[in-house]
Amino acid sequence: MQSKSSMVIFQPSGRRGRVPLGTSIVETSRLLGVDIEAPCGEKQVCGKCKIRIEQGNFKKFGITSEPGHAGPWQSAEEKHISPEEKEQGYRLGCVATVQGDLLIYVPEASRAGKQVVSKAARPINITIDPAVKQYYVELEPPTLQDPTGNFERLCAALEHQHHLESLSIDITVLRGLQATLEAGEWKVSVAVWLDREIIHVQPGSGTGIFGLAIDVGTTTVAAYLCDLVSGEVVDTLSMMNPQVKYGEDVVSRISFHMENPDGLKRMSTDLVDGLNNLVMQASKRDYTHSATSGNSPSAEDETFRIQPADILDVSIAGNTAMHHILLQLDPEPLGVIPFTPDVHHSLDITARELGLKINPAARVFMLPIEAGFVGGDNVGVILAEEPHRQDRIQLIIDIGTNGELVLGNKNRLVCSSCATGPALEGAQIEFGMRAAPGAIERLTIDPETKAVDYKVIGRDVWQSFSKPEKMQTKGICGSGILDAVAQLFLAGVVEKSGAFAKQQDSDRFRICPETGIKEFVLAWAQETSIGKDIVVTQQDIRHIQLAKASIYTGCKLMMRRLGVDRVDSVKVAGAFGSHIDCKLALVIGMFPDCAIDKIVSVGNAAGDGCRIALLNRDKRREADWVARHVEYMELTLEENFQWQLMEAIQFPHMTDTFEHLSGVVPEHILNQ
């Protein structure tokens, strides 16, 4: 059997598995829990199931994917796939079949389950003072007596009417100036960057001006489309980071660059293409002004669209590797001692320099980076949470594929990063998946009966109240796997060491006959859409243990550096942080001990900080200040790091008192 099957990996979800040769790609996607759109029922007529075969030797995954591995091209595909797309490896998922190992990219349009946007923007307080502002001016048309040039005429009006002096102008704006002035009959709206440079001119009072705050995560990318006048978040856009196909964590991305001469450019271009795609999607949507805009709501709200040319400013935050790869700066030195980046300072570049298809004169503000892998995303977290302005000791944990930690107060701040890996985002987990409909997100296990109850994204009713076939469970997302591991521990199924207990009295526990690995069934096959039992394996538990241990160790080493033995509050940031049960995270020993009510989830604080930088120019200066004043700790070089990490693998860590868990964790478990 093994020789008659091939490995198939779907991107961007990362779902993978072996399927029999000859299986259609659409069928394969169902088997692996990916779900490609196929409204016509694989009749080869709707063309919705377009996918792309990635070509190359993907060492990271141990496979070589070739277009030929998807079977011969069929004439039925010609109707839906252009010659250019064919060239790029596009196929119809209902026509192409598995004939060898395949790495398959599923474009956003072909994905059946839209990711639940877990990086939604929080309402935060921002003083709206953006880098790009719009000014309305009325000019005198030129005459023979005063034939002064258009630019000088515009500058004179801006100086006279708005006290803006010594302005320059982007050459792309100058090119259209004459036509715009005529179209507006010498009345125009002028967007000016930092009171320095004219970057957009529109006839009359103009349409709105907008900005994008982009949080580039290793695995997911969130972009907040903001009104630069009101500061309102008009839309939240998100996607998987298209670089995931080159490697799941920062280290494997850097390796990809080192092994491929054009690797850096490919990864950068893929991300920029993805961002351009998000902008294009947004440009097709109808938006309404929110009720907060002050207009009395009417029965028929006026809708508006946002053209790419209306986007005039961008702020981008990412860890150091994401920052360097996007800018095509060599990320190799980031991975070797002494971990020197090319630049710490914030950077201002133009959108066209970066290849962003928005207004070509739009500016891009790259948030500064701190040190090591701790980048602009962490600067964003600090801008949003402001530990540097407070007396109390705050611990902020930003959980992503790369975990970033900040500890301290206004006197001193330290930061560090820990390689949590993508397990907490559902990757590397046997049945892991992103937070999309069908993913187990909450889960309990009865300590007595070991009965499992759970809830999936997209369905309010818990499993115990549902008919099995109604659940359509597909996999486990990050918060679900954390719940599962904690509950297995609390139910005594898993010991303090993370190993399954020797004594097991549930039929959910078993040893996989093929792999010999112990596993515990969370959902029986009849409850699922993939037709097989969804389990947590011993390996899944190990991944979670490693992730939580690295966070815990980081926190402890930072506390040691600051000389504090407890923190006043813990803030959990990141998409994952918004969804986890903080109590259960404490149970498995992810955070140092803290009063339960002082542990709060702060959502995508990095994205919030990025938005702050977009909307307030002073905060850009503060960002540079923060980046240079926070003290970086390279954890792996700390004394006793390895020993501390090993110690932290167990749950819960024995040196902690866990006073806050009494009543939550049974005594016999704590006293194991």
Q: Contact residues for a copy of itself (CB under 8 A)?
A: 142-144, 146-152, 168-169, 171, 174-175, 177-179, 327-330, 332-333, 337-345, 347-349, 353, 369, 371, 634, 637
Question: CA-CA distance, 520 to 484, in Å (whole number)?
Answer: 10
Nearer to a copy of itself, 328 or 472 (CB): 328
Sort 95 into a burial class: Cβ within 10 Å, 0-12 / 13-18 / 19+.
Answer: buried
Residue 343 CB, nearest distance to a copy of itself (Å)? 4
In the complex, least distance from residue 225 CB atom to a copy of itself, rounded to whole angstroms: 25
Shortest CB 367 distance to a copy of itself, Å? 14
CA 210 vs. chain centroid, Å, equals 22
Q: How far is the CB of 145 from a copy of itself (least distance, A)?
A: 8
Name which of 81 and 327 has its Cβ closer to a copy of itself. 327
Residue 315: enclosing H or E segment and its boundaries?
Answer: strand 311-318
Q: Which of residues 179 and 654 has its CB atom nearest to a copy of itself in the complex?
A: 179
Give dist(CA 461, CA 465) in Å, integer: 6
As measured in angstroms, the least distance from the Cβ of 176 to a copy of itself is 8
How big is the chain, counted in residues?
Answer: 672
Shortest spacing between CB 327 and a copy of itself, in angstroms:
7
Q: How far is the CB of 351 from a copy of itself (least distance, A)?
A: 12
Nearer to a copy of itself among residue 123 and residue 147 (C-beta): 147
Separation CA 544–CA 523 (nearest Å): 19
Tokens of 484: 């599962």
DSSP 20-72: ETT-BHHHHHHHTT--B--TT-SSS-S-TTEEEEE-EEEGGGTEEE-GGGG--
Token representation of residue 618:
């002073």
Of 536, 549, 563, the closest CA to residue 497 belongs to 549
> Which is nearer to a copy of itself, 323 or 619 (by Cβ)?
323
Note if the bond before 12 is cis, omega within 30 degrees: yes
Comparing CB distances to a copy of itself, the nearer of 160 and 467 is 160
Residue reference for tokens 């133009």: 350
Report in angstroms how near the CB of residue 155 gets to a copy of itself at its nearest. 9
Angle at 133 between CA 128 and CA 138, to 5 degrees: 135
The overall longest dimension of the chain from CA atoms, in Å, is 99
Residue placing its CB nearer to a copy of itself in the complex, 374 or 457: 374
List the one residue out of 243, 276, 281, 308 whose CA is nearest residue 109: 281
CA distance 405 to 378: 8
Q: Please report how close the Cβ of residue 162 comes to a copy of itself at its closest, in angstroms.
A: 19
User: Please, which residue, 178 or 672, has the CB nearer to a copy of itself?
Assistant: 178
Indicate the residue among 637 and 646 with the shorter CB distance to a copy of itself.
Answer: 637
| CB contact at 8 A, 642 and 426 | no
| Distance between CA atoms of residues 651 and 548, nearest Å | 9
| Complex with a copy of itself: residue 9 or 329, whichever CB lies closer | 329
The CA distance from 379 to 7, in Å, is 40
CB of residue 372 to a copy of itself, shortest distance in Å: 8
Number of neighbours of residue 127 by Cβ within 10 angstroms: 10
Q: Nearest approach, Cβ of 264 to a copy of itself (angstroms)?
A: 9
Burial class (CB in 10 A: 0-12, 13-18, 19+), 299: exposed
CB closer to a copy of itself, 201 vs 383: 201
How many whole angstroms separate alpha carbon 346 and alpha carbon 364? Answer: 10
